[in-house]
């Protein structure tokens, strides 16, 4: 395989540097591509280009319908290039072809379509008659683009989570500088090339691949950037917030999770076992909202674990381009070591390994970063595997004796991103949902991302929400323009100050 090199995109041009990032295929451990590595100077250049494009007004002051048309065309091009996008996500991100087709790339075009529609229908101006004050006038509350906004994306869903920031920011008329994760910039670079083809003016979307604490940190601190949208770890989210504080930038932070799945005593255990494995093991558990803590009634634990183990044992490993493969590798050797370290800590702290815990064999898995689906029982809430985000295919089963105890365990976490309740009684589950401290509660399902509703976390899982109409609120400034309509100097209260002016 020839190792192709990809430049970054700034001001509508391909920009190369002497420094390179290596893109490694997680299923083989081989370098498959290189990408120009941007540093602080490239971020500065990208922000300058974004500002120039913003001030030129071709995008920032374009009619919403024009912006909508370009975003629709971009969504169409995304659909047309789906095979190449899927290949890029498999190559850099280790998604299996089924995951990349269904999720990593498959959701991107519909999500972009949603924001393209929103660009045309969003209320950018709200006129309000003001008659109560002594004067008569009209206020127009405007939602205006902020200027240049920064996006910092993670490696687990590079295109999709980048798009959750780029799409509303562009729909609102902003210029964007995005720093993709250093391991997975390929799909974002292709997206930016397609955006130019769709008619997005040069400089409106700039992509600077680079190392987080260098290029990412500069973007968060840059005085010319008015807002940062970030998805990643809670630790880095705190760094971004600190860096943003210097210039009082707005932030939207989507961070880590340790999501609980509360299995009620009336749940259908066959459906719940499948749903929970889907919720925990999809993309080898490298999803912020993965259901990593199963809370099960003590009286039903054994029958439930039996089903979980039986169903999880059918998960097939294989090459990431093979449609028969159920589970692919982790993103890197580092992540694999980290996950195996957590599995070791679970054993040492006294949890019982019910399934997995190791590395799968297979002639075709040699160089890849694979870890078996792993299920621990006898987990207690104080164990590391019950408290920390592992970001791997590891499910911890905990037991409870009463609903109150289930809720206490579920909420006893620094995180509050997602959660699920499994029950055959909808009203009972809906009632319980009100008491779970999480930004999303799924009832009898998991990973149900709907672009029309807000997504984000309680507590240390984030600040603000992405998706839904109010994603656009977060990428706009609010301006009130007041127009006096009284035409009557006497009707204004100016004589409070100027009572002697006409003497």
Residue (255 or 273) nearer to ligand NAD, CB: 255
Catalytic residues: 254, 288
Q: What is the smallest separation between the CB atom of 348 and ligand NAD, expressed in angstroms? A: 23
CA distance 464 to 243: 17
Tally of CA atoms within 13 A in the half-sphere of 272 that contains its CB: 25
- Closer by beta carbon to ligand NAD, 130 or else 214: 214
C-alpha separations of 136 from 401, 465, 484, 485 in Å: 65, 37, 6, 5
Nearer CB in complex with ligand NAD: 171/331: 331
* CB nearer to ligand NAD: pick between 96 and 440: 440
d(CA 207, CA 191): 10
Long-range contacts of 231-239 (CB under 8 A, 24+ apart): 231/152, 231/153, 231/154, 231/161, 231/164, 231/165, 231/255, 231/288, 232/152, 232/153, 232/154, 233/154, 233/389, 234/389, 234/414, 234/415, 234/460, 234/461, 236/212, 237/462, 237/463, 239/213
333: which 2 tokens?
């050797």
Supply the minimum distance, in Å, between the C-beta of residue 467 and ligand NAD.
Answer: 10
The rounded distance, in Å, linking the Cα atoms of 300 and 224 is 57
d(Cα 317, Cα 449) in Å, to the nearest integer?
Answer: 26
Closest separation in Å from C-beta 460 to ligand NAD: 10
User: Is the CB of 114 or the CB of 391 nearer to ligand NAD?
Assistant: 391
H/E element holding 54? helix 40-56
Q: What is the CA radius of gyration of the chain?
A: 25
Cα separation, 501 vs 481, whole angstroms: 28
Give the nearest distance from C-beta 288 to ligand NAD in angstroms. Answer: 3
Query: What is the smallest separation between the CB atom of 26 and ligand NAD, expressed in angstroms?
Result: 13
Cβ distance to ligand NAD smaller for residue 264 or 282: 282
Taking the complex as a whole, how short is the minimal distance between the CB of residue 439 and ligand NAD, in angstroms? 9
Provide the pairing of β-strand 291-297 with 394-400: parallel
Write the CB contacts of 284 (distance below 8 Å, at least 6 apart in sequence). 94, 327, 328, 329, 330, 371, 392, 393
Give contact residues for ligand NAD (rule: CB under 6 A): 152-156, 161, 179, 181-182, 212-213, 216-217, 220, 231-233, 236, 239-240, 254-257, 288, 389, 391, 417, 457, 462
What minimum distance in Å lies between the beta carbon of 330 and ligand NAD? 11
Strands 418-422 and 374-377: unpaired
DSSP string, 209-252: -B-IIIIIHHHHH-TT--EEEEES-HHHHHHHHHHHHTTT-EEE
111 vs 143 by CB, closer to ligand NAD: 111
- In sequence order, the β-bridge partners of residue 478 are 143
C-alpha atoms less than 13 angstroms from C-alpha of 406 in its C-beta half-sphere = 26
Q: In whole angstroms, how close is the CB of 220 to ligand NAD at the nearest point?
A: 5
> What is the SS3 assignment for 355?
strand
Name residue, tokens 């920011």.
169
How many C-beta neighbours within 10 Å does residue 169 have? 29
Name the residue nearer to ligand NAD (CB basis): 94 or 212: 212
């Amino acid at each position: 395989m020839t190792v192709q090199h990809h430049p970054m995109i700034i001001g509508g041009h391909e920009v190369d540097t002497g420094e390179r990032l290596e893109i490694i295929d997680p299923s083989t451990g081989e370098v498959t591509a290189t990408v120009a590595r941007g540093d602080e100077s490239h971020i500065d250049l990208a922000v300058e280009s974004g500002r120039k494009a913003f001030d030129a007004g071709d995008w920032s002051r374009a009619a919403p319908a024009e912006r909508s048309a370009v975003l629709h065309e971009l969504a169409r091009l995304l659909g047309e290039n789906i095979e190449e996008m899927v290949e890029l996500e498999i190559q850099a991100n280790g998604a299996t072809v089924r995951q990349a087709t269904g999720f990593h790339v498959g959701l991107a075009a519909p999500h972009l379509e949603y924001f393209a529609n929103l660009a045309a229908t969003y209320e950018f101006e709200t006129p309000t008659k003001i008659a109560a004050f002594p004067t008569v006038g009209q206020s127009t509350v405007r939602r205006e683009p902020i200027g240049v906004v920064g996006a910092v994306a993670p490696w687990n869903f590079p295109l999709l989570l980048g798009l959750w920031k780029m799409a509303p920011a562009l729909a609102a008329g902003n210029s964007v500088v995005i720093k993709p994760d250093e391991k997975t910039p390929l799909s974002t670079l292709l997206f930016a090339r397609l955006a130019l083809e769709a008619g997005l003016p040069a400089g409106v979307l700039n992509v600077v691949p680079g190392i987080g604490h260098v290029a990412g940190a500069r973007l968060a601190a840059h005085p010319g950037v008015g807002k940062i949208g970030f998805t990643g770890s809670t630790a880095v989210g705190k760094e971004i917030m600190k860096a943003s504080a210097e210039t009082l930038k707005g932030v939207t932070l989507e961070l880590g999770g340790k999501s609980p799945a509360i299995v009620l005593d009336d749940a259908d255990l066959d459906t719940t076992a499948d749903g929970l494995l889907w919720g925990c093991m999809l993309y080898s558990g490298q999803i912020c909202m993965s259901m990593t803590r199963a809370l099960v009634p003590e009286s039903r634990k054994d029958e439930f674990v039996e089903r979980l183990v039986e169903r999880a044992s059918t998960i097939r490993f294989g090459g990431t381009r093979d449609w028969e493969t159920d589970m692919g590798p982790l993103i890197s050797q580092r992540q694999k070591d980290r996950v195996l370290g957590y599995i070791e800590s679970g054993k040492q702290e006294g949890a019982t390994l019910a399934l997995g815990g190791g590395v799968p064999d297979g002639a075709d898995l040699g160089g890849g970063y694979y870890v078996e689906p792993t299920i621990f029982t006898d987990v207690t809430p104080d164990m590391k595997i019950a408290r920390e985000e592992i970001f791997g295919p590891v499910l911890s089963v905990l037991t409870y004796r009463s609903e109150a105890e289930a809720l206490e365990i579920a909420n006893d976490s620094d995180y509050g991103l997602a959660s699920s309740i499994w029950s055959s009684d909808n009203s009972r589950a809906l009632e319980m949902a009100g008491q779970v401290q999480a930004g999303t509660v799924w009832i009898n399902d998991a990973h149900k991302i709907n672009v029309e509703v807000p997504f984000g976390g309680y507590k240390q899982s984030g600040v603000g929400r992405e998706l839904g109409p109010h994603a656009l609120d977060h990428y706009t400034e609010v301006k009130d323009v007041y127009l006096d309509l009284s035409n009557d100097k006497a009707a204004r209260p100016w004589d409070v100050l100027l009572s002697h002016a006409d003497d």
